[in-house]
Structure 1
């Protein structure tokens, strides 16, 4: 994990359990034990975070906290793994989880193909794969899967999106809007960016895809070469609000006449401080929704 010290507000944000509830559970059942800094400030470590994430999974699926509190750490982990694996009734979601847990590429391919036949490629990604990745994140944080399994699944999805993009194979028109897509230095999670690249190309946009971890010093030269009409970027790694604001402000100031879409999580505390030409993931989805989609 990126940090080994979490406030109770961090636990609330990551688990979805209100801080007030966590305090009650801590006092009544002793389910987590905070540490204290040299200045007597309470904090929670990685093990407490994993435990709370597992408790959250069980509690959401009907387990009472009084029952959970009597479980050993081993029992808690086993029950949480079972819930994560079988907690949803839809066969497709269960098969996606099975393909992740067992690293079964054939099962994944069959499940994905069935979803695409039923709902189409874009709806499959939006309605199944993106929510599935959210669930993977929770499972990874809870310790029910390991990074290798997450990488396995990410690469399968990445390949599906790249293959789907290549099948479009349509040159953009002379008056097509040019979209430049990139991730800043240190950002490697490109599943979302790849999907937006696909979606924009399918709608007749000309896209220039730079990919992961692009050095910021190289961007002005790229801007002058391809003259983008819009820019799409984002951060998915845990970030400090001020770091995001600095990144967003510098990019928006560099291209004040362009709309710049920031995908991924945007810290709530600084949303109102973003420049006027900064847009969000919701704005990007709206743009795609109302843009002409080629046949």
Structure 2
């Protein structure tokens, strides 16, 4: 079972820590454990309850009414709302609960309903991406276990691959050629896969080289295909002090190609971008480039 601080609950639910403490005292809605130094910690059941309470409050329920509901009744009310009203924040809450419960059935139901209403692309951009961002901090701090994180990201990965396989082939005679890869040691593939989907859907050709590609193999593929663009995501590698040399190496090795970079290691960092290199912060920037 994962453990959470009151700040973790605040970040995930949007309910202020001060409010949660008042509810805990007044309504006993949470059952924290205490460390040897008397610090409160909360479990998965507490987090799920807070997420459910947050959703019900957003739909007009009073906390005094919510506090009277047993766990099964609370879950039932949340499912009714999630099934009837599809909006982005509610669905992000529901995805978080499906991750905590490791419920593939619930995940499938949420994703399928949203794709039906909003379309695949909007579902990933407005629901899945914010969801992954929300849990990112908790993953780094160890508040969410590896099994839960791997479970949900692999389901998302499978959905994107299925969507790519299901794309109707479009002629790309007037499109551009993109080469997508992750540098050696990089395995966070979801952003690269979705970029693959975005670029293909705009009638461009993609050479997809995937995870952890040695630089020598990138050079080999480049000579073979001569792409107009090279796209990569730098999330955990290279190491901080190696990022700028890596960016420079890409730019210098492929001087006639536009290099597109994104990811934690370059976005918002003090990276000098060579003339043929662009760092993008939002997926909409890639959509604009691929659409042109």
TM over 0.5: yes
Shift of 1:148: 1.0
Q: Would you say 1:262 and 2:261 are equivalent positions?
A: yes
Shift of 1:172: 3.4
Write the deviation string for residues 191-240 of structure 1: whole angstroms up to 9, x where unpaired.
01100100110000000101000011111110011110001002111764
Secondary structure of 1:212's match?
coil
Distance of 1:239 and 1:126 partners within structure 2: 26
Write the deviation string for residues 24-54 of structure 1: whole angstroms up to 9, x where unpaired.
xxxxxxxxxxxxxxxxxxxxxxx9xx85963
Secondary structure of 2:41's match?
helix
Q: Contact 2:175/2:203 (CA < 8 Å) preserved in 1? A: yes
Residues 1-295 of structure 1 mapped to structure 2, 5 A cutoff: 54=8, 57=11, 61-64=15-18, 72-73=34-35, 75-78=40-43, 82-83=49-50, 87-88=54-55, 89=58, 90-237=89-236, 240-265=239-264, 266=266, 268-271=268-271, 273-282=272-281, 285-289=284-288, 291-292=290-291
Residue segments in structure 2 that go unaligned for 5+ positions in a row: 23-31, 59-88
Judging changes above 3 Å, is the alpha-carbon distance between structure 1 residues 194 and 231 closer, same or farther for their aligned structure 2 residues?
Answer: same
Distance of 2:225 and 2:5 partners within structure 1: 49
Judging changes above 3 Å, is the alpha-carbon distance between structure 1 residues 140 and 87 closer, same or farther for their aligned structure 2 residues?
Answer: farther
Q: Contact 2:92/2:128 (CA < 8 Å) preserved in 1? A: no
Secondary structure of 1:151's match?
helix
TM-score using structure 1 length: 0.72
Write the deviation string for residues 37-95 of structure 1: whole angstroms up to 9, x where unpaired.
xxxxxxxxxx9xx8596386389622239x69xx8347333456654665455442232
Shift of 1:122: 0.6
Judging changes above 3 Å, is the alpha-carbon distance between structure 1 residues 238 and 131 closer, same or farther for their aligned structure 2 residues?
Answer: farther
Shift of 1:288: 1.6
Moved over 6 A (4+): none
Judging changes above 3 Å, is the alpha-carbon distance between structure 1 residues 290 and 269 closer, same or farther for their aligned structure 2 residues?
Answer: closer
The count of corresponding residues between Structure 1 and Structure 2 is 243
Shift of 1:171: 4.6
Distance of 1:187 and 1:291 partners within structure 2: 24
Report which stretch shifted further, 82-91 or 92-101.
Answer: 82-91
Q: Which residue of 1 aligns with 2:63?
A: none
Distance of 1:204 and 1:232 partners within structure 2: 16
TM-score using structure 2 length: 0.73
Residue segments in structure 1 that go unaligned for 5+ positions in a row: 1-46
Q: Which residue of 2 aligns with 1:18?
A: none
Judging changes above 3 Å, is the alpha-carbon distance between structure 1 residues 260 and 86 closer, same or farther for their aligned structure 2 residues?
Answer: farther
Judging changes above 3 Å, is the alpha-carbon distance between structure 1 residues 84 and 186 closer, same or farther for their aligned structure 2 residues?
Answer: farther
Write the deviation string for residues 152-190 of structure 1: whole angstroms up to 9, x where unpaired.
111111111111111114053333210000000010001
Distance of 2:289 and 2:267 partners within structure 1: 27
Report which stretch shifted further, 72-81 or 111-120.
Answer: 72-81
Judging changes above 3 Å, is the alpha-carbon distance between structure 1 residues 218 and 290 closer, same or farther for their aligned structure 2 residues?
Answer: closer
Distance of 2:136 and 2:257 partners within structure 1: 33
